[in-house]
Structure 1
């Protein structure tokens, strides 16, 4: 798939930040198989582009993503089974890093760039899944969030039973997964589900500003490394995490980014980090 083939996702790059916009505003950006494929393609381009140092994912119009499209849900009922409606040749961003990441949405953990969700409105079902697999979440004041699944007679989707306890703790995760009640962004922030709550018109600008800070003021190598550590260490033990961090420290202190970071700090100037050679 090429950028010119996108129909339900928009992909733009400016100031070292890729913006991925779910673009079905007339349907509150309800998720379809095509959107799934296009979102994966867009993230694969961002992760492979050395000019991109951070990604922001948002929704067009008044919603982030209202969950699976109702037509698709009805189709599953009629068919008596689940059909994701996705092509066989979808892009595979984040794959090949760890076996456990090579699954739907979990591949976000294998990306080399940080991903920020600008939750500009309702995020339900798979829309909440997408937000949870991003590294940070900025949400519009009053935005409604829900897992949806139990009300539809479905299980926790796409590993939410693993993700949510790590974001909000077991008690809050049980609340959200068992009841599928709607929580607004303000309550979600008290749980730790979202990082910031802002007026709706400020969500995307704030997410882009944060992404530009990551793109210009911190080492892309260090960001890639820290993200890899964060998710790998969730699957391991503290001793391994400490030992690995010591090995990385020995490796990175001899690198050009550390030298530039120290020089910028001593010179009281903005650092000029080179592109990540791994990309």
Structure 2
């Protein structure tokens, strides 16, 4: 992997660290290379059962500044052409990112190191868990540039902060600081900038201590439950539970419980 890649991948044992790597645009989400990088890396991580947790962060002063406003001004990339062309370009462009997240089976934590604005806020919401630096700022700010959340934000944000707060953030475009983000449930922790990656990795390590396949099934259950009835959720849970009870990791977990030792999971 090159240091010029749009997303950098680093491995620390069972944890993968993904770093958005476009500091010159404050990690704006634009360009085929960015969209393809999410799809390629997520597919790679899905196939590797040795990966049990992912941390996503940004290079430089921002987590992600959202869409490239200069391209909006110049009607370049996704933002040029007729309404019909823009629809197609969004589908073939930035909308591939939430679809890639939906297909990601590995638990992912956003370590929000700085501003997460517009599509950057939505990117954080695509992650399962969010931890913020005190320097982080969040805004569902599409109205401020005269557009709507075209990347799935209207679906994502209410599921994180609730319908009324999501409406307030989307209708005003207001920016909230890290403490307010914690208060409204947008993030689960706020830490000093120098402690951000340590906090994210500590949480990832606690997650990664568990059986990798069961972690992935648990994530799929949580995703499916967003739009399922109780009966549907119970059916999904029963399906995965049937599989889980047959795994070597389940047998190892039960044996370790009775032997009062730490289990060793293999993903089998």
Q: Shorter-chain TM-score: which interval? A: 0.7 to 0.9
After superposition, the CA RMSD in angstroms is 2.5
1:190 paired to 2:177: no
CA contact (8 A) 1:20 1:39 kept: no
Superposed displacement of residue 225, structure 1: 0.7
CA contact (8 A) 2:35 2:97 kept: no
Superposed displacement of residue 110, structure 1: 2.2
List gaps (5 residues or longer) in structure 1: 91-101
- Aligned mate of 1:230, from 204, 222, 229: 222
The C-alpha deviation readout for 1:229-279, integer Å capped at 9, x for no partner, is: 11111121011212332343343223211111112222332211113x5xx
In the alignment, the residues of structure 2 paired with residue 70 and residue 250 of structure 1 have an alpha-carbon distance, to the nearest angstrom, of 49
Dislocated runs of 4+, deviation >3 Å: 3-6, 77-86
CA contact (8 A) 1:53 1:214 kept: yes
The C-alpha deviation readout for 1:143-178, integer Å capped at 9, x for no partner, is: 110012001110123121111111111110101111
Q: Which residue of 2 aligns with 1:120?
A: 113
Q: Which residue of 1 aligns with 2:49?
A: 50
CA contact (8 A) 1:15 1:212 kept: no
Q: How many residues align?
A: 261
Superposed displacement of residue 48, structure 1: 2.0
Q: Cα distance 1:120–1:253, how it changes in 2: closer, same or farther (>3 A)? A: same
1:220 paired to 2:238: no
CA contact (8 A) 1:142 1:186 kept: no
Q: Which residue of 2 aligns with 1:16?
A: 14
The worse-fitting range, judged by mean Cα deviation, of 237-246 and 178-187 is 237-246
TM-score scaled by length of structure 2: 0.88
List gaps (5 residues or longer) in structure 2: none
CA contact (8 A) 1:76 1:83 kept: no
Q: Which residue of 2 aligns with 1:96?
A: none
Q: Cα distance 1:145–1:204, how it changes in 2: closer, same or farther (>3 A)? A: same
Superposed displacement of residue 180, structure 1: 0.8
Q: Which residue of 1 aligns with 2:236?
A: 244
CA contact (8 A) 2:52 2:106 kept: yes
Q: Which residue of 2 aligns with 1:97?
A: none
1:167 paired to 2:166: no
Determine helix, strand or coil for the equivalent of 2:75: helix
The C-alpha deviation readout for 1:197-245, integer Å capped at 9, x for no partner, is: 1111111121122112222x21112111111111111121011212332
Q: Cα distance 1:50–1:236, how it changes in 2: closer, same or farther (>3 A)? A: same
Superposed displacement of residue 85, structure 1: 7.7
